[in-house]
Structure 1
């Protein structure tokens, strides 16, 4: 397997700058998620790594080779898209083995590697079936097996789970993580689903307007966002109003800062608690969703969201006065000048 290094890559389409001097390293064997709103550049970056698009400037290195001008078929990568693009007139085994036949692998080697790939994705008993005879999750596994059967150095995934329903998607997240760990392939994954990125990834990169906003371990990016955009995009943030800052225990900073707290870090109570940061609030709405509940509260004229176990919330009716509280360690700090 191989690492992927992106150095000062820029890509424009007309006057639009899809990638703006992007530099990032995808570590060998790691699972890396690219996140960002539509138009942020994440799919352009993936396509540039794949070779479907060449950068205007900068370098792309896969392993020990510079590949920024190398065509896609010579980059030794595996790809999987939202549309699995299985051949409807081919069996599962033939779909998986298509790339091997293009590479003119011997029949005996092809048979062996197809069998290994089928076993890896737990579809050995479905080899003779046609795509229309499979469930959505099974088709997804066939597409994944086809992407990895050629033993690529890097696996690129473009929203591969977006077409699945929620329950199946969760199951496939677990399977995808298992398979990636088992084969140890460097994997770069584009998704709009922040929760999916947190579950699957060793590292996360957040893009905005063609620039990398922040890169790091999922927990580090979530707990210590470096900008208001990162705080709001990965998860949710309740921003402390200026009028409420006095009297709160806040992190010491040497520059102008903004402060926020995550919804799940908040506690709702009828009385003011001691020893923590607390602000008076009004409970607007409580939404039950099984074990958890979401409360909408008004704090200093702003609407905040609070998420907690339903059983831990006080029995308060809507429009009741209340208190929201959190520990000082749970306060998020970002520079006031950061976007």
Structure 2
């Protein structure tokens, strides 16, 4: 189902990204398809998450969405305009709308620049604010992310990981963006700090009317924040659904395996079903047909010979599996009910309550 342009902010059309591999004895180079013919529509104002195993192409796709990487094939559209073919000059004008929060808060900040200079830099490029106005804006943004205005004169090495990620978020907000992409923005942080940064992102999304695109491994985080979720495997989207639909009734065998891998404290809630066997195939030589078939317990000859198309599966969800209907009908009882958001919600609510009890100036001690 295609959405009107007014309702979607980013769209990909069969976007593919190939990286050159090692050269052979005869001088020809092999290619790795990190992202393979992915078509998505991201709606204005939603939180859209991309999940999957390490190496499945999540981060590459995230960079393609804001054109930090050029696609090898296909197109990426922002507000209906193809940005994959824009010149660097034209793309520079759009850069203020599309900002990125990187995974590593230690290496994503220039250690030679003060925090104030880091946050002020996007304003110099994308706004016409005076120096005094930029300084006031820096102080305001530091307050928005729970840090003291006086921190503007310090350097990144003087801060903890949680503080640095807050600085990265403030820098992303400095240009007044419409879209923020977070590439595993909390995976390098302690659990308590993760919850506070996640709650901060949710608050800022509402305040600044942002569209959030999140890459994450922690499915509890994904369920807590997301409106819709895309599941990737070996460079391809295998299932796309709303939050509750995906967690309550996963359709693709790979999505079911991800749900079974979620740890549960209660022994009564544990699944007796085996998790996936075998390793992820090499992207240099992906399997024929369905790329998941070597690890899928439901694979047939059709899966080996014919690639499934990402098709409608009822309502607002799509799935790329030849046998998802039979699997959903016959194997429903074999899949452990995925943990609902109760535990995760309680965990995040507790940290939100604690952080709200603190003064804004002490939040910088995280």
Q: What CA RMSD, in Å, does the superposition of the two structures yield over aligned residues?
A: 2.7
SS in 2 for 1:151: coil
> Which residue number corresponds to residue 69 of structure 2?
53
> Which residue number corresponds to residue 280 of structure 2?
none
Residue 170 (structure 1) shift: 1.9
SS in 2 for 1:19: strand
> Which residue number corresponds to residue 135 of structure 2?
111
> Which residue number corresponds to residue 116 of structure 2?
93
Task: Determine whether 1:208 maps to 2:233.
Answer: yes
1:254-292 superposed Cα distances (whole Å, 9 cap, x missing partner): 746323232668xxxxxxxxxxxxxxxxxxxxxxxxxxx
Task: Determine whether 1:153 maps to 2:187.
Answer: no
Residue 150 (structure 1) shift: 0.3
Call closer, same or farther: CA 1:210–1:254 in 2, change over 3 Å.
Answer: closer
> Which residue number corresponds to residue 234 of structure 1?
259
> Which residue number corresponds to residue 100 of structure 2?
79
> Which residue number corresponds to residue 196 of structure 2?
171
SS in 1 for 2:77: strand
Residue from 14, 17, 39 that aligns with 1:11: 17
Call closer, same or farther: CA 1:63–1:113 in 2, change over 3 Å.
Answer: farther
SS in 1 for 2:244: helix
Q: 1:25 & 1:264 partners in 2: Cα distance?
A: 26
Larger of the two Rg values belongs to structure: 1
> Which residue number corresponds to residue 147 of structure 2?
123
Looking at secondary structure, tell me which structure has more helix per residue.
Answer: 2
Task: Determine whether 1:24 maps to 2:40.
Answer: yes
Task: Determine whether 1:261 maps to 2:335.
Answer: yes
Which residues of 2 match residues 23-42 of structure 1 at below 5 A? 23-42=39-58
> Which residue number corresponds to residue 277 of structure 2?
none
SS in 2 for 1:127: helix
SS in 2 for 1:3: strand
Call closer, same or farther: CA 1:229–1:264 in 2, change over 3 Å.
Answer: closer
1:5-32 superposed Cα distances (whole Å, 9 cap, x missing partner): 1112122224322222211111111111
Identify which range, 112-121 or 217-226, moves more after superposition.
112-121
Unaligned runs of 5+ in 1: 243-252, 266-339
Q: 1:264 & 1:25 partners in 2: Cα distance?
A: 26
Residue from 185, 189, 201 that aligns with 2:214: 189
Q: 1:67 & 1:167 partners in 2: Cα distance?
A: 38
Call closer, same or farther: CA 1:194–1:186 in 2, change over 3 Å.
Answer: same
SS in 2 for 1:86: coil
Q: 1:3 & 1:146 partners in 2: Cα distance?
A: 22
> Which residue number corresponds to residue 317 of structure 1?
none
SS in 2 for 1:234: helix
- Deviating above 4 A after TM superposition, structure 1's stretches of 4 or more consecutive aligned residues are 237-240
Q: 1:178 & 1:79 partners in 2: Cα distance?
A: 17
Unaligned runs of 5+ in 2: 1-5, 21-30, 262-270, 275-296, 298-323, 340-366
Equivalent residue pairs, number: 255
> Which residue number corresponds to residue 242 of structure 2?
217
Q: 1:185 & 1:74 partners in 2: Cα distance?
A: 18
Residue from 187, 205, 209 that aligns with 1:180: 205
